[in-house]
């Protein structure tokens, strides 16, 4: 029945579009918001039959082989949560009913694509659904049809195209070696033949493709442009969840369910993660554009997640998964904050801002919380995931990388404090003295995400143990 998570968003788009378009325009926001809430609720269905067994509810059509474990459910929750926030941002920014209708439709398609990626148990199906997500993202970035948006979308299209070619070549080679594209079949073949030239080549191609999709250094060229030039709600959606699903989730899934961890893969991940975490943070320090700073911060945080994966232990993977969730919360929140500031001030240049804390209290408070969570300050949620990642690195014997992770965290704190000081505190700019708080549609998701972040942070000590234990079981440890 988990196929419904793919089928319902897609068929909603079809139904909203085909016969009842005028009614669809009125309903689209409500339908999409309810679907994202239902998706978040569905994650808590304990019934394993819902997630695993094909009950042939539709006869011999829609008879898919899908499955979900704790990692998939966590990511499905993130998809629901971020799309819910992005919908409110869309409602605030896109006033024209036609445009808004189209935009929300594309978000629904992207949700269907990402849910397919998360549930797929076959490397080729996974690729097909990744492409759905990618095509929907190009449309979202270019949605305003301005020069910058088109440039950002085109850069993403080109690099994503390169990633696609590498990925499909990797899949073909894996199919040649294993005789199937199913996760478990490839996994059992790789257990015996992991030294083959062809298999190593396939794994190398696949992982490179995923590095491009996740925007890791040195493949990050597309990311700041795409995030910065996209419409505000598209930035929230892309930075919060799309690139995390398309790159990072797939990387974890492929490593856990198909390839397994070898010493060389671990060292590649650790190096790539450390470089991204540090250089991303240093690059963020030098930015004066609000959104661009957040984009570089994303690269740095993805580096963190990759460091966690690189430890190769259940603890590290659990930390990485938790950081995907936390990143989805605080980065969506910060992008909503940047959108609120940009819509009120008409500028993203943080050098010109100052003292906005009095005029925009909700934005200011939530963005302080988001920044502190991102920098890993206790007791906010970001602290726990970073702590788990650092402990996992230390316990796995990668002490140098654990130290690098701590240092990168200090850099994160540095650029966020700079950002906070320049935007919300310090000397007010007279030019912006009549600024007010942005509307309810931006304040509501911001408050919701901030509350979630604080709540998860406070309750983490109680739930963390059970969460990490469930990762031991999916890694077979």
With respect to another protein, which residue has the nearer C-beta, 63 or 286? 63
**Using the rule CB under 8 A, which residue among 21, 26, 193, 421 binds another protein?**
193
With respect to another protein, which residue has the nearer C-beta, 109 or 232? 109
Which phi and psi angles does 73 have, rounded to 5°? Answer: -65, -40
Using CB under 8 A as the binding rule, the residues of this chain from 32 to 61 that contact another protein are 60-61
Give the residue among 80, 110, 105, 78 at the shortest CA–CA distance from 94.
105
With respect to another protein, which residue has the nearer C-beta, 102 or 472? 102
**Using the rule CB under 8 A, which residue among 75, 122, 157, 234 binds another protein?**
122
- In angstroms, give the least distance from the CB of 282 to another protein: 32
10 in contact with another protein (CB under 8 A) = yes
Using CB under 8 A as the binding rule, the residues of this chain from 95 to 114 that contact another protein are 96, 98, 102, 105-106, 109, 112-113
Which phi and psi angles does 429 have, rounded to 5°? Answer: -90, 125
**Using the rule CB under 8 A, which residue among 177, 257, 329, 338 binds another protein?**
177
With respect to another protein, which residue has the nearer C-beta, 135 or 413? 135
Q: What angle do CA 34, 35, 40 make, to 5 degrees?
A: 95
Dihedral sign of CA atoms 45, 30, 71, 366 in order: negative
The owner of tokens 């490179």 is 208
- In angstroms, give the least distance from the CB of 196 to another protein: 6
265 in contact with another protein (CB under 8 A) = no
> Using CA atoms, how far apart are residues 65 and 77, in angstroms rounded to an integer?
21
262 in contact with another protein (CB under 8 A) = no
- In angstroms, give the least distance from the CB of 185 to another protein: 8
Contact 343, 363 (CB under 8 A): no
> Using CA atoms, how far apart are residues 209 and 142, in angstroms rounded to an integer?
23
83 in contact with another protein (CB under 8 A) = no
- In angstroms, give the least distance from the CB of 9 to another protein: 10
326 in contact with another protein (CB under 8 A) = no
- Pick the stretch among 124-132, 308-316, 353-361, 418-426 that binds another protein (CB under 8 A): 124-132
**Using the rule CB under 8 A, which residue among 65, 69, 151, 437 binds another protein?**
65
CA distances (Å), origin 415, targets 275, 290, 326: 17, 11, 19
With respect to another protein, which residue has the nearer C-beta, 116 or 370? 116
**Using the rule CB under 8 A, which residue among 30, 179, 218, 477 binds another protein?**
179
With respect to another protein, which residue has the nearer C-beta, 150 or 395? 150
- In angstroms, give the least distance from the CB of 31 to another protein: 17
151 in contact with another protein (CB under 8 A) = no
168 in contact with another protein (CB under 8 A) = no
CA distances (Å), origin 326, targets 132, 290, 305: 25, 20, 11
Number of residues that bind another protein (CB under 8 A): 45
**Using the rule CB under 8 A, which residue among 81, 94, 114, 132 binds another protein?**
132
**Using the rule CB under 8 A, which residue among 4, 40, 139, 168 binds another protein?**
139
**Using the rule CB under 8 A, which residue among 34, 57, 176, 469 binds another protein?**
176
- In angstroms, give the least distance from the CB of 197 to another protein: 6
Using CB under 8 A as the binding rule, the residues of this chain from 404 to 463 that contact another protein are none
With respect to another protein, which residue has the nearer C-beta, 58 or 440? 58
**Using the rule CB under 8 A, which residue among 23, 34, 41, 128 binds another protein?**
128
> Using CA atoms, how far apart are residues 276 and 280, in angstroms rounded to an integer?
5
8 in contact with another protein (CB under 8 A) = no
Six token digits for residue 222: 């597309």
With respect to another protein, which residue has the nearer C-beta, 188 or 473? 188
Q: Which positions lie near another protein, rule CB under 8 A?
A: 6-7, 10, 14, 60-66, 96, 98, 102, 105-106, 109, 112-113, 116, 120, 122, 124-125, 128-129, 131-132, 135-136, 138-139, 142-143, 145, 175-180, 193, 196-198
């Amino acid at each position: 029945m988990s196929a419904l998570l793919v089928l319902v968003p897609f068929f909603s788009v079809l139904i909203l579009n085909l016969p009842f378009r005028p009614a669809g325009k009125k309903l689209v926001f409500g339908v999409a918001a309810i679907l994202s809430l239902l998706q978040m609720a569905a994650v808590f269905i304990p019934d394993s039959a819902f997630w695993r067994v094909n009950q042939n509810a539709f006869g011999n059509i829609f008879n898919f082989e899908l499955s979900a474990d704790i990692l998939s459910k966590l990511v499905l929750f993130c998809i629901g949560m971020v799309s819910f926030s992005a919908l409110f941002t869309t409602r605030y920014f896109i006033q024209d009913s036609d445009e808004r209708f189209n935009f929300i439709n594309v978000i629904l398609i992207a949700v269907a694509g990402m849910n397919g990626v998360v549930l797929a148990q076959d490397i080729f199906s996974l690729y097909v659904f990744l492409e759905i997500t990618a095509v929907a993202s190009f449309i979202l970035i270019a949605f305003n049809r301005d020069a910058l948006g088109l440039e950002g979308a085109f850069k993403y299209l080109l690099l994503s195209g390169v990633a696609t070619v590498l990925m499909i070549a990797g899949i073909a080679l894996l199919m040649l070696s294993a005789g199937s594209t199913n996760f478990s079949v490839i996994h059992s073949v790789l257990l015996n033949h992991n030294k083959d030239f062809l298999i190593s080549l396939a794994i190398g191609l696949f992982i490179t493709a995923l590095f491009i999709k996740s925007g890791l250094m040195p493949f990050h060229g597309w990311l700041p442009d795409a995030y910065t030039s996209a419409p505000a709600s598209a930035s929230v959606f892309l930075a919060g969840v799309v690139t995390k699903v398309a790159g990072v989730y797939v990387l974890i899934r492929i490593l856990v369910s198909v390839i397994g961890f070898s010493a060389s893969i671990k060292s590649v991940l650790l190096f790539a993660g450390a470089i991204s975490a540090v250089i991303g943070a240093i690059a963020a320090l030098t930015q004066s554009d609000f959104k661009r700073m957040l984009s570089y911060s994303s690269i740095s945080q993805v580096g963190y997640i990759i460091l966690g994966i690189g430890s190769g232990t259940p603890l590290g993977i659990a930390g990485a998964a938790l950081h995907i969730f936390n990143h989805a919360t605080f980065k969506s929140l910060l992008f909503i904050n940047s959108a609120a500031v940009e819509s009120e001030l008409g500028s993203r240049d943080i050098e010109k801002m100052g003292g906005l804390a009095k005029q925009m209290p909700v934005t200011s408070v939530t963005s302080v919380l988001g920044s502190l969570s991102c920098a890993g300050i206790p007791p906010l949620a970001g602290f726990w995931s970073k702590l788990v990642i650092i402990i996992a690195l230390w316990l796995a014997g990668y002490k140098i990388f654990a130290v690098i992770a701590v240092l990168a965290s200090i850099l994160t704190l540095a650029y966020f404090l700079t950002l906070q000081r320049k935007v919300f505190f310090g000397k007010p700019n007279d030019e912006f003295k009549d600024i007010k708080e942005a509307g309810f549609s931006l304040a509501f998701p911001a408050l919701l995400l901030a509350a979630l972040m604080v709540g998860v942070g406070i309750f983490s000590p109680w739930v963390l143990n059970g969460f990490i234990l469930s990762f031991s079981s999916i890694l077979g440890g």
